[in-house]
Amino acid sequence: MEHTSNEKLLDIRDLSVEYHSNGKIVKAVSNLNLSLKKGETLGFVGETGAGKTTTALSILRILPELPSRITSGEIWFNGENLLLKSKKEMQQIRGKEISMIFQDPMTSLDPVATVGKQIEEMIGLHEKLPKKELREKAAQMLEQVGIKRERIDDYPHQFSGGMKQRVVIAMALSCNPNLLIADEPTTALNVTIQAQVLELMKNLKRQYQMSMIMITHDLGIVAEICDSVAIMYAGNIVEYGTVERVYENFCHPYTEALFDSIPSLDEDQEELKVIAGLTPDPTNLPSGCPFHPRCPYAGPECAQQAPEVRETEPGHIVRCHKDLKGGSGNE
């Protein structure tokens, strides 16, 4: 397919990332393809070690340099390949064009600086403004995320967990980024606070018209906030499509397993449907389709050949030899 990059904000092509640990090579991400439209929110779902965070860190090029390496691929952002940028150019992009929110708000704020200072610093990195204006802008950002501007001179420890995450969001949005990457932004929060923060993010996303990648393990959060969803397993996307299509008509056995594993709130189940086994050891991935040892539908071809992606319906992509919904689906 030919894509013009002007309608796409982000286009990842054939990305592979490896880690080296104890002389072994860990394939964290292998040949990943993904694109994101302007204003779109994409959910990134998968278990621990599936490569969600690694992919996100590769986009920002903040992978720890020594043990990890991007071995192949291109990351096109706004028509430019980020992997060819110099360090200095990347620093300009980080925070200004692409921002990231991390899981733990407790550790992503500097405990010895006031929240106002931290937001000002973030803005100051990318915009040369007089001090007064910086402060005013920081105060506006706080108000945006529902924190009173009087609290601008407070230190992070004076805020609760949910409030801290709001400050982090304010920092991330302070330079009007085109893309926001949120890595499990609500996992460390209580459910009622999580609901608040999600609501806030939904509103801000609309207001700022930015694109967002939401990394999470919670399919419920994806349903709430995302337009499309990518399910990751062992370093690759196994299913991708709009949230409606994937949730109502999933085609990959792993996606099915994920949905089956969540206890339902509507009906009573004696036993949950469970897939056996564990996420594979990334230093020693199974041959063929990495999911085949756990897959209830696996056939002989699954062990031999890695499946190619195919489109089951427009915009709904699956990486599987089998067609869960009946019919033959090779290639």
- Interface with another protein by CB under 8 A: which residues? 21-22, 47-48, 160, 162-163, 190-196, 198-199, 217-224, 243-244, 247-248, 257-265, 268-276, 278-279, 284
Across the beta sheet with 316-319, the strand order is 98-101, 179-183, 211-216, 41-45, 228-233, 236-242, 316-319, 309-313
Report the C-alpha gap between 21 and 186 in whole angstroms: 30
Closer CB to another protein, 74 or 260, in the complex: 260
CB of 8 to another protein, least distance (A): 24
As measured in angstroms, the least distance from the Cβ of 161 to another protein is: 8
Q: How far is the CB of 107 from another protein (least distance, A)?
A: 16
CA distance 209 to 129: 24
Q: How many CB atoms lie within 10 A of CB 91?
A: 14
Nearer to another protein, 45 or 141 (CB): 45
Quick one: tokens of 243? 């949230």
At closest approach, how far in Å is the CB of 326 from another protein? 22
Q: What is the residue whose two structure tokens read 């206890």?
A: 263
Nearer to another protein, 98 or 109 (CB): 109
CB 324 within 8 A of CB 257: no
Nearer to another protein, 60 or 230 (CB): 230
Q: In whole angstroms, how close is the CB of 263 to another protein at the nearest point?
A: 3
Closest alpha carbon to 193 in 149, 263, 146, 138: 146
Q: Is 163 left (phi over 0), alpha (psi -120 to 50) or beta?
A: alpha
The answer to whether the Cα torsion of 292, 297, 303, 305 is positive or negative is negative
Looking at the Cβ atoms of 144 and 196, the one nearer to another protein is 196
Task: Return the beta strands (E) in the chain as ranges.
Answer: 8-21, 24-37, 41-45, 68-77, 80-81, 98-101, 179-183, 211-216, 228-233, 236-242, 309-313, 316-319
In the complex with another protein, the residue whose CB is nearer, 8 or 52, is: 52
Least Å distance, CB 138 to another protein, is: 22
Q: Which is nearer to another protein, 2 or 248 (CB)?
A: 248
- Taking the complex as a whole, the smallest distance from the CB of residue 105 to another protein amounts, in Å, to 13
List b or e across 260-292, with b for residues whose CB sees 16 or more CB atoms inside 10 angstroms. eeeeeeeeeeeeeeebeeeebebeebbebbbbb
Q: How many residues in total does the chain contain? A: 331
Nearer to another protein, 23 or 327 (CB): 23
- Tell me the closest approach of the beta carbon of residue 140 to another protein, in angstroms: 21
